[in-house]
Amino acid sequence: MQRSSALGETKTDTQIKNKVKRQGSVYPFYFLLGALILYLVFSVIPGFIGLFYSFTDWNSFSTDINFVGFDNFGLIFSSEENYLSFIKNTLIFTVATIILKTALGLLFALLLTEGVKKLTNLHRVIIYLPAVLPMLVVGLVFKSILNPQTGLLNEFLRSVGLGAFAQKWLVDANIALFSIIGVDTWKGVGYIMVILLAGIQAIPKDYYEAAAIDGASPLQRLWSITLPLLMPVITVTTVLNLLYGLKVFDIVYALTNGGPGYATDVVFTSVFKEFGQGRYGVASALSTVLFVIMIVFGYFVIRLMTRKDQAE
């Protein structure tokens, strides 16, 4: 497909070159404006105003906005406030969900390509299903499932004689964050699995045939063919998980709203709370910390995702 169009191009090359001169009229710039304006006004500008406000004491109690230098950042990184624990929770959530979703996603994808011959697509459709459910609804249902007394999970554990493992999942400050990580993995692993599955299916079958002739065991094929060739895809899913984890808000809001106490608060739930209390300067500074980190990672993932276009 690609090759034939490349050949065709030489034939019409001169025609296209003539067209280039008046391409502005065939592909007018104003076609871009709607998308560009929406993007600028509702994404870029708020981001950069946020940069500015994070150096001010803007709040809802006073009409004056004063420049305070790095005070807000000093507050965020001081040990007297809880902000550091919110950042720590965000990092724990991010690292744990990256590892869990990648490992399980890969395992499930291998199971569906290697292990299961029938109903593969049905399994894929069902395992991805949690990803499309609204987070608020998932939060409500899991609040019930994880209820210490009547919840389905503890009931199940007791009924199979594992009552010792029954926990106060969302109530115990020591494990609430891990319960959230568990629910998030349940919801998001299908997405990662689907991407990895497509990656595995894109690996040419010849490699496996050659390996089989050479007498490679399934494990050797996994280590020497599947994993190395899947690395670019795993890199993309890892960065996607990273970006998702750093800006996580809705699942925490829906399951615990940061509680018990501040045990499960992450950066964006605390931004929401600061916002509610009218401390806009601090809230902006918190957002800005993430904004800067994510621009860096974002640049990296966008480069990866557009590598195909750049090559052309």
Partner 1 sequence: MPTKPLKALGFNLAALLLSVVAFIPVYIVIVNSLKTKAEASVMGIGLPTTLHFENFATVIEKGKLGQSFFNSMLYSVGSTAIGTILAAMAAFVLSRNRTRLNRFLYFFIIMGIALPTNYVTLTQVMQITQLINTQLGIIILHASGQIPFGIFLIYGFVQTVPRELDEAAIVDGCGPWRLFFVVIMPLLMPVMITLSVLSFLGAWSDFIAPLYFLNNSDYWPMTLAVYNFFGQFQSDWSLVSADILLTILPVLIVYLLAQRFILSGLTSGAVKG
The interface with partner 1 within residues 223-252 (CB under 8 A) comprises 232-233, 236-237, 240, 243, 246-247, 249-250
Between 165 and 297, CB nearer to partner 1: 297
CB 38 within 8 A of CB 257: no
Q: Is 297 in the site for partner 1 (CB under 8 A)?
A: yes
Q: Which is nearer to partner 1, 79 or 150 (by Cβ)?
A: 150
Per CB under 8 A, the segment of 46-54, 66-74, 77-85, 92-100 that binds partner 1 is 46-54
Residues in CB range of 128: below 8 A, 6 or more apart = 190, 191, 193, 194
Contact 108, 115 (CB under 8 A): no
* Span of 40-48, 70-78, 79-87, 258-266 interacting with partner 1 by CB under 8 A: 40-48
Q: Which of 7, 17, 21, 43 touches partner 1 (CB under 8 A)? A: 43
Q: What is the DSSP letter of 130?
A: G
Q: Which residues of 44-72 are buried (b: 16+ CB within 10 A; e: fewer)?
A: eeeeeebeebbbbbbbeeeeeeeebeebb
Angle between helix axes 227-246 and 83-110 (nearest 10 degrees) is 150
Which tokens sit at 174? 């020591």
From 68, 145, 175, 216, residue interacting with partner 1 (rule: CB under 8 A): 145
- When binding is defined by CB under 8 A, the residue of 13, 23, 66, 174 that contacts partner 1 is 23
Give CA–CA dist 78/175, Å, rounded.
25
- Interface with partner 1, residue 67, by CB under 8 A: no
Residue 131: CB minimum distance to partner 1, A: 9
Of 96, 170, 252, 271, the residue at the interface with partner 1 (CB under 8 A) is 271
Phi, psi of 82 (to 5 degrees): -90, -5
Binding to partner 1 by residue 170, rule CB under 8 A? no
Residue 121 C-beta: closest distance to partner 1, Å: 9
Query: Does the protein bind partner 1 through residue 134 (CB under 8 A)?
Result: yes
